[in-house]
Amino acid sequence: MHTDGLKLSELIAEATGRGISLGGLALEREARLTFTDPDCLRERMRRQWRVMQEAMETGREAPHASRSGLVGFEGSLMHQRAQEALEAGSPVLKLAALAMSVSCVNACMGRIVAAPTAGACGILPAVIASAQEDTGCREDSCVDALFAAGLIGAVISGHIELAGASGGCQAECGAAAAMAAVAAVQIYGGSPERSGHAAALSLKNLLGLVCDPVAGLVEIPCVKRNGFLAVHAWLAAQMSLAGMNSAVPVDEVFAAMAEIGRSMPESLRETAAGGLAATPAGQEIRSQLDIRYSSLG
């Protein structure tokens, strides 16, 4: 996705002035800048959405342990809990289940769509799927929402690389939550301005989120974090749709995230040298996995 280095506020102003959605604007810009027919781009995005749907279904209904044995069943367990809850089919529980399902498929080497990264792959599809179920919108609306989400990711990536090694997990799951919040607002019929506030509300409450994968694997705490932050993104969207604004403009939130990411110590940027990875339990898990892998030759 291309933005020409524009600020999100400028893109929101353009979309608002022309009476189109951020997703529609993103599609137009991508078609123009890549010399690609819009219908081809839509079809490519539609295929990606269907891969996301497959991952949500696979992780929820057919759980498999990851190679480490640490994760793989979380999506299925949460789905079961959602079905058994006092309020059967609780939207929040179903949302978390979908996000963790996709993250489990990633950990088990299944097929996913990086959104924007593999470690954050469950947040965006879960939020879009939940919004679709809630509104009854058609597949085309989900595809358009993905274009809007991609636009947000592209703007953020203009500030800092979308990788835990560059900016901590705020640059992965944090960015994914902002993208998901924007996608949800669009599906619910919110304006581009509401989308901007949703992105800001979501991301500013995740600033400083570190990347501390236990044993260096995108499993602990990543799978459960996807579940938590899908709910976080959905709530940010609902706050914005209710008329709540971010006191700090969205582009300033993005800039603050980048500054925080650059100031993070290396131990908290995907090196598995700090945070949860450095705890006694984290070190024991790593030791046990090293023994297991060495025994396999």
Domain that holds residue 248: 8-285
Closest by CA to 29, choosing from 46, 10, 47, is 10
* Structure confidence at residue 5 (pLDDT): 80
Mean pLDDT to the nearest integer, 199-219: 97
> Two tokens at 122?
């469950």
* Structure confidence at residue 109 (pLDDT): 94
Query: Domain for residue 17, yes or no?
Result: yes
Query: Domain for residue 294, yes or no?
Result: no
Query: Domain for residue 290, yes or no?
Result: no
Place of tokens 């901007």: 196
For residue range 28-46, list pLDDT tens digits in order. 999 999 999 999 999 999 9
Query: Domain for residue 293, yes or no?
Result: no
Does the pLDDT at position 58 exceed 90?
A: yes
Query: Domain for residue 192, yes or no?
Result: yes
Count of structural domains within the chain: 1
* Structure confidence at residue 297 (pLDDT): 61
pLDDT-above-90 percentage for the chain: 90
Query: Domain for residue 224, yes or no?
Result: yes
Mean pLDDT to the nearest integer, 53-80: 91
51-55, 61-65, 176-180: least confident range:
61-65
Does the pLDDT at position 86 exceed 70?
A: no
Q: How would residue 87 be classed by pLDDT, with cut points 50, 70 and 90?
A: low
3-state secondary structure of 271: coil
Query: Domain for residue 297, yes or no?
Result: no
Helices marked H in the chain: 8-18, 22-34, 38-61, 74-84, 91-107, 123-135, 139-157, 164-167, 173-187, 192-204, 222-241, 250-263, 280-295
Tell me the HSE value of 250 on the side-chain side, using a 13 A CA sphere. 30
* Structure confidence at residue 88 (pLDDT): 57
Q: Could you tell me what percentage of the chain is helix, strand and coil, using 3-state DSSP and rounding each to the nearest 5?
A: 70, 0, 30
Q: How would residue 7 be classed by pLDDT, with cut points 50, 70 and 90?
A: very high
Query: Domain for residue 295, yes or no?
Result: no
Does the pLDDT at position 208 exceed 80?
A: yes
